[in-house]
A and B are shown apart, each in its own frame.
Chain A
């Protein structure tokens, strides 16, 4: 019933509907441009949301995130370059299909699989978030602190190829969040005598610097001289551009498995679409009757990873809505938008701002339908247009938009300078394999973690022993310890000396 109200809200507000349509188109286009991610686009567009109503703002950015994940498959299939990391596994069979003259079939498979996967994840979000929220309402500050620690460590340990660097990245993000007023005593901290830092760092310049400007700097280091137009192999017959019902039916089991894998991965903080697509591809290939042909251009090899990477989208929002703890970069940015509009995120949100939450769910479902239609009928056209614009003309414009966007949020040139500083820091983090995403999520999580810890100790007569009396808190402390131990153990087991590697070669 609440969801129906959500649909009514969306359809009765033409402006919100317009933003959903724009989000779908923009998301597909941005996702299809290699190097530009949905996260970068959302980071640039967060300041715009200051100027529109909360539901339109959230729906716009949420749909960009969804459509962007699908858009990545267009360049993966057509140009052998994934538009986003989420589409990295789609290349394996998607591009060989293009080389056989079956690009249209591959793109339609990707559209269908993405939409079904995303729809599955969205249903899980709609049913799961409210259910979990009814339990989390009973949690107190000690449990919340344990959840924050769990999120910090899980994100830190899985987001980078090095556990150490992942956790350092989260600590760096948390240290940035310490700038500004103390949440309990309101004493100024780390403001270095600058009035602009008195209330803390704004999320917008941080996002724009770490995600957008650092990407422009990274692209500047690439040699774009060889970025010629890609030749597409024309379809030999009309069926090569179509996806028949029998072919779609053949893909359905792989789409189902991919959706399930993506939904589970989406629930884990920080893991993300890139992991989901490879797990689904590997699992699909292992179970497929034609597994030996995967990698040579089979549509099932496109369907499995595409369903998985889009199924991540909905469940990754569950920790945000049920706990107020973002588990992904897009969720962290949406949390920023909630905060800009003064909406308290957490288990109470279903009661305090239910219309916005269910409106957001409805927007997600409409967005899925829209990007499916765009993908089914227009992805080849979008791909061709993107191929015509040289990357060297896109990135200088993005640098300018990023700077103006950073200014837009608070009409502050200080924020533009800050975004430029974070651009350099973000570039250095990327090339040294530190995670900018982990830093941003930690920046958003840290104030809540500090508040929960200090409130816990105010409640306690026995200091830190309060955590020992709370079984839920202990369980959340144990999860990351187990996860990190498992990862380190598996790494130690798989480590071989160079001599052993030569022997086994």
Chain B
């Protein structure tokens, strides 16, 4: 193994350790939050056996303990030998964040404008974000939206929620 390879694996290990530190801290924060929340679970002192709080609190305790160990190892720059994290902040912001925002927007659009409009818009933007261009971009969204519409709401008979503002399908059916 060359010195350059070692430098590379060393850099990867240090990056993994940094990510482990952050992951450990998030896990500890989550455990603490859930533990505090568990204190509001009603408990009957006369009830035999373990209370409703025992299991959730045990899980929180273990999560906090293991999260602390992960964060501690990360702070010391140590990671498991085969453990290689791949998180990249810039990629997350450029690629994942817009797509996740779009998926949340889909829920909101679905509520306001019904399935068809929401899926058309979401699929169009998602295709654009993935790099689909030209004729394919123009055709993919309407074809797939209609296909899924007939599959789920037509063939399977899934209940279609009424749109709060305007549903193009209701308008088209009324013509």
Residues of chain A at the chain B interface (Cβ within 8 Å) = 48, 51, 160-165, 167-168, 171-172, 174-175, 178, 182, 184-185, 187-190, 192, 213, 216-217, 219-221, 224-225, 390, 392-393, 395-397, 399-401, 403-404, 407-408, 411, 413, 416-417, 420, 423-424, 427-428, 430-434, 446, 449-450, 453-454, 457-458, 491, 494-495, 498, 501-502, 505
In the complex, which residues of chain B have a beta carbon less than 8 angstroms from the beta carbon of A160?
Answer: 83
Proximity bits, B74-92, A CB within 8 Å = 1, else 0 = 0000011111111110011
Q: A160-B83, A162-B83, A431-B85 are in contact. List 19 more A-B contacts (CB 8 A).
A: A161-B82, A164-B70, A164-B80, A168-B70, A178-B55, A178-B59, A190-B56, A192-B37, A220-B129, A221-B88, A396-B127, A400-B123, A411-B159, A420-B100, A423-B100, A427-B100, A454-B50, A454-B54, A502-B1
B81 touches A495 (CB 8 A): yes
A400 touches B70 (CB 8 A): no
In the complex, which residues of chain B have a beta carbon less than 8 angstroms from the beta carbon of A498?
Answer: 6, 10
Is B165 part of the contact surface with A, judged by Cβ < 8 Å? Answer: no
In the complex, which residues of chain B have a beta carbon less than 8 angstroms from the beta carbon of A433?
Answer: 16, 83-85
B19 contact from A190, A411, A432, Cβ within 8 A: A432
A501 touches B34 (CB 8 A): no
B107 touches A182 (CB 8 A): no
In the complex, which residues of chain B have a beta carbon less than 8 angstroms from the beta carbon of A411?
Answer: 158-159, 161
B59 touches A393 (CB 8 A): no
> B92 → chain A, closest Cβ, in Å?
8
- A-B contacts, 16 listed (Cβ < 8 Å): A51-B156, A164-B69, A165-B70, A165-B83, A168-B66, A171-B59, A178-B55, A187-B52, A189-B38, A189-B52, A221-B91, A225-B131, A397-B123, A403-B103, A433-B85, A505-B2
In the complex, which residues of chain B have a beta carbon less than 8 angstroms from the beta carbon of A502?
Answer: 1, 3, 6
Among the interface residues A48, A168, A424, A494, which one has the most CB atoms of the partner chain B within 10 A? A168
In the complex, which residues of chain A have a beta carbon less than 8 angstroms from the beta carbon of B34?
Answer: 175, 178, 190
In the complex, which residues of chain A have a beta carbon less than 8 angstroms from the beta carbon of B1?
Answer: 501-502, 505
Residues of chain B at the chain A interface (Cβ within 8 Å) = 1-3, 6, 10, 16, 19-20, 23, 27, 30, 34, 37-38, 41-44, 47-50, 52, 54-56, 59-60, 62-63, 66-67, 69-70, 73, 79-88, 91-92, 95-96, 99-100, 103-104, 106-107, 110-111, 115, 119, 122-123, 126-127, 129-132, 136, 140, 144-145, 148, 152, 156-159, 161
CA distance A225 to B132 in the complex (A): 10
Give chain A's interface secondary structure class.
helix
CA distance A393 to B81 in the complex (A): 37
Interface pairs A-B: 4 shortest CB-CB: A396-B126, A162-B80, A161-B82, A431-B87
B152 touches A171 (CB 8 A): no
Residue of B nearest to A403 (CB): B106
CA distance A87 to B5 in the complex (A): 28
In the complex, which residues of chain B have a beta carbon less than 8 angstroms from the beta carbon of A220?
Answer: 95-96, 99, 129-130
In the complex, which residues of chain B have a beta carbon less than 8 angstroms from the beta carbon of A457?
Answer: 49-50
B42 touches A187 (CB 8 A): yes
CA distance A446 to B152 in the complex (A): 32
Residue of A nearest to B129 (CB): A220
> B9 → chain A, closest Cβ, in Å?
8
* A168-B27, A413-B107, A427-B96 known; A397 vs B19 contact (CB < 8 Å): no
In the complex, which residues of chain B have a beta carbon less than 8 angstroms from the beta carbon of A397?
Answer: 123, 140, 144
> A191 → chain B, closest Cβ, in Å?
10
> B79 → chain A, closest Cβ, in Å?
7
B84 touches A413 (CB 8 A): no
CA distance A401 to B152 in the complex (A): 9
In the complex, which residues of chain A have a beta carbon less than 8 angstroms from the beta carbon of B123?
Answer: 396-397, 399-400
B104 touches A417 (CB 8 A): yes
In the complex, which residues of chain A have a beta carbon less than 8 angstroms from the beta carbon of B82?
Answer: 161-162
* A185-B44, A220-B95, A397-B144 known; A432 vs B103 contact (CB < 8 Å): no
> A206 → chain B, closest Cβ, in Å?
15
B130 touches A400 (CB 8 A): no
B48 touches A399 (CB 8 A): no
A217 touches B100 (CB 8 A): yes
In the complex, which residues of chain A have a beta carbon less than 8 angstroms from the beta carbon of B111?
Answer: 413
> A392 → chain B, closest Cβ, in Å?
4
B87 contact from A217, A224, A428, Cβ within 8 A: A428
CA distance A118 to B131 in the complex (A): 39
CA distance A71 to B55 in the complex (A): 41
CA distance A491 to B152 in the complex (A): 50
CA distance A208 to B168 in the complex (A): 28
In the complex, which residues of chain B have a beta carbon less than 8 angstroms from the beta carbon of A188?
Answer: 41
CA distance A329 to B70 in the complex (A): 25
* A165-B70, A189-B52, A416-B106 known; A51 vs B157 contact (CB < 8 Å): yes
CA distance A131 to B19 in the complex (A): 46
B52 touches A184 (CB 8 A): yes
CA distance A39 to B150 in the complex (A): 25
CA distance A185 to B63 in the complex (A): 25
A393 touches B100 (CB 8 A): no
* A48-B156, A400-B144, A434-B23 known; A190 vs B67 contact (CB < 8 Å): no
B104 touches A420 (CB 8 A): yes
B52 touches A432 (CB 8 A): no
* A171-B62, A427-B96, A457-B49 known; A400 vs B131 contact (CB < 8 Å): no
B52 touches A185 (CB 8 A): yes
Among the interface residues A178, A401, A430, A450, which one has the most CB atoms of the partner chain B within 10 A? A178
In the complex, which residues of chain B have a beta carbon less than 8 angstroms from the beta carbon of A401?
Answer: 148
